[in-house]
Amino acid sequence: MSIAKTYNPREAEKKWYSYWMEHGFFRSTPDEREPYTIVMPPPNVTGVLHMGHMLNNTIQDVLIRRARMQGKNACWVPGTDHASIATEAKVVAMLKEQGIDKKSLSRETFLEHAWEWKEKYGGIILKQLEKLGASCDWERTKFTMDPDLSEAVIDTFIKFYKEGYIYRGVRMVNWDPQGKTALSDEEVIRKEVNQKLYYVRYQIKDSEEYIIIATTRPETIMADTAICINPNDERFTHLKGQSVIVPLINREIPIIEDEYVDMDFGTGCLKVTPAHDLNDYELGQKHNLEVIDILNDDGSLNEKAQILIGEDRFIARKKVTNLLEEAGQIEKIEDYKSQVGFSERTDAVIEPKLSMQWFCKMDKLAKPALEYVENGTIKLIPEKFFASYKHWMLNVKDWCISRQLWWGQQIPAWYNENNEWVVAKTEQEAITEFNQQGKSSSNLLQEEDVLDTWFSSALWPMSVFDGVRNPDNTEFNYYYPTQDLVTAPEILFFWVARMIIMGHDYTQKPPFKNVYLTGIVRDKMGRKMSKSLGNSPDPIELMEQYGTDGVRVGMLLSSPAGNDLMFDISYCEQGRNFANKIWNAFRLVKGWETTEAPATESQKNAAIWFENRFNQAVSEIDEHFSHYRLSDALMAIYKLIWDDFCSWYLELIKPAYQAPIEKETHETVKVFFEKILTLAHPFMPFLTEELWHDELFKKREEKDCIIVAQYPVVKDFDIRLIKDFEIVQQIISEVRSIRNAKGISPKIELPLAINAAGIDFETHRETIIKLANISTLDLVNEKIQGAVSFLAGKSECFVALEENIDIDAERERITKEIEYLKGFLISVDKKLSNERFIQNAKPEVVQNEKNKKADADTKLKILEGSLLNLS
């Protein structure tokens, strides 16, 4: 029988994923065990797996698999998000391709198309997550527009409305002219843009004089309703109370005064356009200015502009500039950099626009959500994000929750024929409500707008367990609050904060205990990986190439929480190589014939050492996990397996070529092997499951799978024993190093003599002989003449080489070491003779220095002896 020399991930991946599914290992139902719950941040239903998802979901899978193996009732709830704007844009684009204009469709027909699209193309990403090994409870898959989740959203709207958090009003909002909807402040991305600053002349009425203003948006001058100057600005004192003529349209507007105007910026004169700028709007409110909105929903000019009607705002900007120039009204044009808002979803330039919207009052709601994080009920990992969380929470603004879209939850508000409105779940209830208020209830129309998608995502940890509609249900009581949330820092406010707010409002509990914020996946040049840059590898292809386990390991090796991850393909290679290393260790153990003989002493000692070393590693790994240092945990496993298990333990017990191994030892190796597989399983689910089922270990029962095997628990270990073995390892390394330096083949046996101090070398005799390839190992009490010597711990070792040793080289080496030790002693002595040190330092520290001195003294004496011995 032959086993492939390299691990082939493909078969194992296919086989085990469906095996796990068929046997229901991912499924979770409430029982007497401790629950461990993660709700997956729902990707957009339009989404396709990218490196960010890969990282994020791998982390979640590692956490959930480990918890499952620790005997917890692990429940990972997957799902998708309806992503109003993105999805609606996709559907509109698709319809356009078919020659259908959204405007020509009724709301119902459009939604039919949208649902059709969703059923057909939506949720590809969930399928892709399977490839990654995601052990979600797929039967719980939710969509934010599922009927029950939608109902939860509507209920919440009504609840918040009744509690006085939701109101409706005309406000300046962020308008996305491409998506044709309002956006929340959080959905606006500000970018620095190279612009022009236009200096435009406005003629003073009944005068030849001009006033010059600076603007970046000349196309809005038709909407100007005042010019504002600073009352303290002496340059303009004579203009107070005058009015000016708006160029091109010759409308008369007043000159007003307000200290808001920065005298040093531009010309010190500001044109006031209340309809198209937030600050101007506020100025307008203060000074009772007229509001002239010259823009249509799509960003083109309307008839109020009087000129260039129907032109897009950016074309209009150019044309207005030309017209102004022709009219001699442009003083100058300067280059200018400024921040411009873009839509997070469509990337269109945001237009401040005055419109009627629904808002959620945030200040009161935010308070308890801040407290949770402040008092540690919810932990942010890493903590550094607390500062910005706090800042946002303290300065939170009201949340614009209405969107002028169809795809989403339609706001449950109803208008009667007099345009009066009530909030009610159904039309029937609305009628009742109107009647109670003594108002007309005929010709009711439901509010056209839908709710912000984040309004529904905010309920996610509750709504997936139906906890909003039915808070007393068993599942909700069992799984909520959830344990860990793994997500990107970018949506800390969008999502995390709002989940905490809603969770608290409903349950008086936080929705989760820990928030692990992953980094951003960047390319080698530090650029964020994105589709538009084309610098992101396709995770699916990566997994094809390196194996899923390899890519998982690669991603996690380099991603401390909250730090961005500079992704490089070589990490995946490292992951693949690691998988292959385990595979080959398995081949070795698998290939051994056994003999009935009992284990040898050295094998037993090796086993004792590895057991202790293993327990030490388990402690370290546990510690890393408790701080969510997944990459450190993984590295500890990597080293335990590669170095300790393969390079030391296996080499140590390995029988001679084609010789059988003692059965007792073989059994022990197998036990260790199973243990390290369980440690590795959360990171490398496929390989470990594949090996677990090999008959080398045993015939497994149908449900005896590593995915539910017992995860190693923290146990005591003997640090002394491990340290002693380190000395042995050092001796072996030194002998190999001597070989290397002298060009002596590893096949040639060398004699070794040890002047042992403090360690029982008999225990390790066989080990040293075997791994360092020693012919004779003598324990001596004196120095050996003409041998190369070195110090391991406090034991001096001698290798007598057949050819003459290079005395000068040896002398130099030893002298160097002596000098080092002397320097060391000087520094220690300096400390110890410093009274202030003795007085101020902790007693342990002082004692430690004393011990160091004693150690160094011993070593120094040995080395000085060696030096004498050479001459």
Give the one residue of 50, 65, 317, 576 binding RNA; rule: CB under 7 A.
576
Give the one residue of 113, 654, 742, 783 binding RNA; rule: CB under 7 A.
654
The continuous run of DSSP H or E covering 557 comes out as helix 548-557
Q: Which residues of 817-852 are buried (b: 16+ CB within 10 A; e: fewer)?
A: bbeebeebbeebeebbeeeeeeeeeeeeebeebeeb
Using CB under 7 A, which residues numbered 821 to 850 contact RNA?
Answer: 823-824, 826-828, 831, 834, 836-837, 840-842, 845, 848
Q: How far is the CB of 419 from RNA (least distance, A)?
A: 31
Q: Which of these ranges, 43-51, 150-158, 294-302, 733-741, lies near RNA under the rule CB under 7 A?
A: 733-741
Asked whether position 317 contacts RNA by CB under 7 A, the answer is no
385, amino acid identity = F
Which residues lie closer than 8 Å to 357 by C-beta, 6 or more apart?
168, 169, 170, 171, 173, 182, 400, 401, 402, 449
Using CB under 7 A, which residues numbered 388 to 407 contact RNA?
Answer: 388, 391-392, 395
Whole-angstrom Cα distance, residue 270 to residue 278? 14
Q: How far is the CB of 741 from RNA (least distance, A)?
A: 6
* Dihedral of alpha carbons 584, 590, 596, 599, sign: positive
Give the one residue of 91, 214, 784, 787 binding RNA; rule: CB under 7 A.
214
Asked if residue 719 lies in contact with residue 752, where contact means CB atoms within 8 angstroms, the answer is no
Six-digit token pair at 263?
A: 């005298």
Give the one residue of 203, 647, 757, 800 binding RNA; rule: CB under 7 A.
647
Residue 532's CB is within 10 A of a number of other CB atoms, namely 7
Q: Output 73 or 321, the one with its CB closest to RNA.
A: 321
Asked whether position 489 contacts RNA by CB under 7 A, the answer is yes
Asked whether position 579 contacts RNA by CB under 7 A, the answer is yes
Q: Output 214 or 348, the one with its CB closest to RNA.
A: 214
Asked whether position 632 contacts RNA by CB under 7 A, the answer is yes
Asked whether position 231 contacts RNA by CB under 7 A, the answer is no
CB-facing half-sphere around the CA of 683: CA atoms within 13 A = 26
Asked whether position 584 contacts RNA by CB under 7 A, the answer is yes
What is the phi-psi region of residue 328: left when phi exceeds 0, alpha when psi lies from -120 to 50, beta otherwise?
left
Q: How far is the CB of 192 from RNA (least distance, A)?
A: 7
Which residues lie closer than 8 Å to 861 by C-beta, 6 or more apart?
none
Give the one residue of 117, 165, 460, 493 binding RNA; rule: CB under 7 A.
493
Asked if residue 685 lies in contact with residue 575, where contact means CB atoms within 8 angstroms, the answer is no
Q: How far is the CB of 267 from RNA (least distance, A)?
A: 7
Asked whether position 333 contacts RNA by CB under 7 A, the answer is no
Q: What 3-state class would DSSP assign to 318?
A: helix
Which residues lie closer than 8 Å to 105 by C-beta, 6 or more apart?
95, 113
Asked whether position 533 contacts RNA by CB under 7 A, the answer is no
Which residues lie closer than 8 Å to 556 by C-beta, 6 or more apart?
58, 59, 62, 630, 631, 634, 683
The beta strand positions in 600-749, using DSSP E, are 661-662
Give the one residue of 253, 423, 585, 618 binding RNA; rule: CB under 7 A.
585
DSSP 200: E
Q: Output 97 or 803, the one with its CB closest to RNA.
A: 803
Which residues lie closer than 8 Å to 98 by C-beta, 6 or more apart?
none
Q: Output 18 or 815, the one with its CB closest to RNA.
A: 815
Asked whether position 806 contacts RNA by CB under 7 A, the answer is no
Asked whether position 7 contacts RNA by CB under 7 A, the answer is yes
Asked whether position 52 contacts RNA by CB under 7 A, the answer is no
Closest C-alpha to 550, from 242, 26, 124, 132: 132
Q: How far is the CB of 225 from RNA (least distance, A)?
A: 14
Which residues lie closer than 8 Å to 219 by C-beta, 6 or more apart?
301, 308, 313, 314, 316, 317, 320
Give, in order, the Cα–Cα distances in Å from 299 to each of 170, 351, 766, 823: 19, 8, 84, 76
Asked whether position 577 contacts RNA by CB under 7 A, the answer is yes
Q: Which of these ranges, 288-296, 407-415, 437-445, 817-825, lies near RNA under the rule CB under 7 A?
A: 817-825
C-alpha 348: how far from its chain's center? 27
Using CB under 7 A, which residues numbered 591 to 610 contact RNA?
Answer: 591
Q: Output 156 or 230, the one with its CB closest to RNA.
A: 230
Give the one residue of 733, 794, 818, 858 binding RNA; rule: CB under 7 A.
733
Asked whether position 813 contacts RNA by CB under 7 A, the answer is no
Using CB under 7 A, which residues numbered 555 to 574 contact RNA?
Answer: 557-558, 560, 563-566, 568, 570, 573-574
Give the one residue of 302, 338, 418, 435 binding RNA; rule: CB under 7 A.
338
Whole-angstrom Cα distance, residue 760 to residue 779? 10
Asked whether position 6 contacts RNA by CB under 7 A, the answer is yes
Asked whether position 477 contacts RNA by CB under 7 A, the answer is no
Q: How far is the CB of 805 from RNA (least distance, A)?
A: 17
Six-digit token pair at 392?
A: 């946002």
Q: 3-state DSSP helix/strand/coil percent for the chain, to nearest 5?
A: 50, 20, 35
Asked if residue 138 lies in contact with residue 26, where contact means CB atoms within 8 angstroms, the answer is yes
Site string for RNA, 174-193 (x = CB under 7 A): -----------xx---x---
Q: What 3-state class would DSSP assign to 812?
A: helix
**Terminal Cα-to-Cα distance of the chain (whole angstroms):** 60
Asked whether position 758 contacts RNA by CB under 7 A, the answer is no
Q: Output 339 or 871, the one with its CB closest to RNA.
A: 339
Q: Which of these ranges, 242-250, 321-329, 386-394, 782-790, lies near RNA under the rule CB under 7 A?
A: 386-394
- Counting residues that bind RNA (by CB under 7 A) gives 97
Q: Output 33 or 816, the one with its CB closest to RNA.
A: 816
Q: How far is the CB of 798 from RNA (least distance, A)?
A: 18
Give the one residue of 93, 249, 327, 387 binding RNA; rule: CB under 7 A.
387
Q: Output 434 or 638, the one with its CB closest to RNA.
A: 638
Q: How far is the CB of 672 from RNA (least distance, A)?
A: 13
Which residues lie closer than 8 Å to 63 by C-beta, 6 or more apart?
38, 484, 486, 682
Asked whether position 526 contacts RNA by CB under 7 A, the answer is yes
Q: Output 137 or 176, the one with its CB closest to RNA.
A: 176
Q: Output 21 or 818, the one with its CB closest to RNA.
A: 818
Partners of residue 188 on adjacent β-strands = 343
Q: Which of these ranges, 449-457, 598-606, 672-680, 739-747, lies near RNA under the rule CB under 7 A?
A: 739-747
Give the one residue of 740, 775, 776, 815 binding RNA; rule: CB under 7 A.
740
Using CB under 7 A, which residues numbered 248 to 307 contact RNA?
Answer: 260-266, 268, 270-271, 277-279
Q: Which of these ranges, 1-9, 71-79, 163-171, 318-326, lies near RNA under the rule CB under 7 A?
A: 1-9
Residue 370's CB is within 10 A of a number of other CB atoms, namely 19
Site string for RNA, 343-382 (x = CB under 7 A): ----------------------------------------
700, amino acid identity = R
DSSP 229: E
Whole-angstrom Cα distance, residue 307 to residue 624? 67
